[in-house]
Amino acid sequence: MKKIPVMVVEDNWLLRESIKDMIEQEKDFKLLATYEHIEEIQPGLSGALSAAPVILLELGNCNEKGLEAVKTVKAVVPESKIVIMNLLPKQEDILQLVSCGVEGFILKDAASEEFLTTVKTVFEGEKVLPQRLTNMLFSQIIEHNNSSEMSSFWESANLSSRERQIIRLVADGLTNKEIAQQLNLSSYTIKSHVHNILKKLDLRKRMQIARIAALQEIK
């Protein structure tokens, strides 16, 4: 099994060393380099790598400068998969960063296990939004994205009205049991609907429904 290549960009020395130590202790991960600033990343680095690296990138308060930083990293290491490390990014920041190519977000106070799981999940090709952020931002993000292009995404999946209703409730953070109580259905029925939704959307996990619903409005 190939090791997951990781690079860290963090201007705080203590945090940078802490993340470095955590990654170096994991046998499935390979720390390629740590940087204080993105300008230190060497152009053409990706060509020497056997797999696209996951880059843990600290942006501080996201603004136009932060977005440019993401674009710079993508320009220097095009195949990279970027995970933003932050305290609590805003809704509009998340939307802009995703549009610039960011694959995941991790809160700086997250436990080591969550850090490593996020890196692994992003490396495998999925996007990651921490649970604490999804619960807080679901409704806002869904309201923000209401273009016809978003609607066509759901239409192409041939979802039933009940399945669409359940997706909205999943996006609101409800468990299967809570959805069953609200819709006056059995938990088994809800579980069956969720299974069908996963199959139609070609997903593997329930949380992926929530992540997509967070970025794609369903009516």
Fold of 4-128: Rossmann fold (3.40.50)
Coil, strand, or helix at residue 129?
Answer: coil
% of the chain at pLDDT higher than 90: 26
Long-range (24+ apart) CB contacts under 8 A made by 13-22 are 15/58, 15/108, 19/56, 19/115, 22/112, 22/115, 22/116
pLDDT digit string, tens, across residues 35-94? 988 888 776 555 556 678 899 998 765 556 778 888 888 888 888 899 998 766 666 677
Q: Would you list the domain boundaries of the chain?
A: 4-128, 136-215
Q: So what's the pLDDT on residue 57? A: 92
Check for a shared fold between 4-128 and 136-215: yes
30-48 in b/e form (b: 16+ CB < 10 A) is bbebbbeebeebeeebbee
pLDDT digit string, tens, across residues 192-219? 999 888 887 767 777 777 777 765 656 5
pLDDT confidence tier of residue 142, bands split at 50, 70 and 90: very low
- By the 10 Å C-beta count (0-12 exposed, 13-18 middle, 19+ buried), 101 is classed as middle
Domain made up of 136-215: CATH architecture: 3-Layer(aba) Sandwich (3.40)
Helices (H) and strands (E) in the chain, counts: 10, 5
Give the Cα separation of 181 and 194 in Å (integer): 15
